[in-house]
Amino acid sequence: MKTTTFTTPQNTALLIGRVWIVALFMISGLGKISGVEATQGYMAAMGMPTSLIWPAITLEVGGSLAVLLGFFTRPLALLFAIYSVISALVFHANFDDQMQAINFWKNISIAAGFIFLWVSGPGRYSLEAWLADRK
């Protein structure tokens, strides 16, 4: 996909946005690593296969690091958007519980942010841009 030309403030905003949007997933993924059994128990209670723990950790930690660096940004942003919507539907769809309803819409909002990143790409301050300049 062709890279878009942005102004310096826009490129700076894309960098800040990448840092902020993946911070939650990096923290969550590292927390899953330190509490694999507890997370698997929660997943099982919600009807999710516990075998998905390592793909989730890989996406949350590895994917976050890649998006942070601006590497494979568009495909990972789309994957994170889908992951956020699925997480909302599986873990936060109890609208009788106000906190779960808030978390549902938080996840949908995060998915929207990833959709914007999928459309825009990582911007100038990224590994993708650096690699493109080396060609």
Residue 124 has pLDDT above 70, yes or no: yes
Task: Compute the average pLDDT of residues 14-25.
Answer: 97
Q: Which residue has the tokens 């793909």?
A: 55
pLDDT per residue as tens digits for the range 83-116: 999 999 999 999 999 999 999 999 999 999 999 9
Q: Which residue has the tokens 């890649």?
A: 66
Tokens of 79: 């994957």
pLDDT per residue as tens digits for the range 32-49: 999 999 999 999 999 999
SS3 (DSSP) at 60? helix
Name the average pLDDT for the chain. 95
Percent helix / strand / coil, the chain, rounded to 5: 80, 0, 20
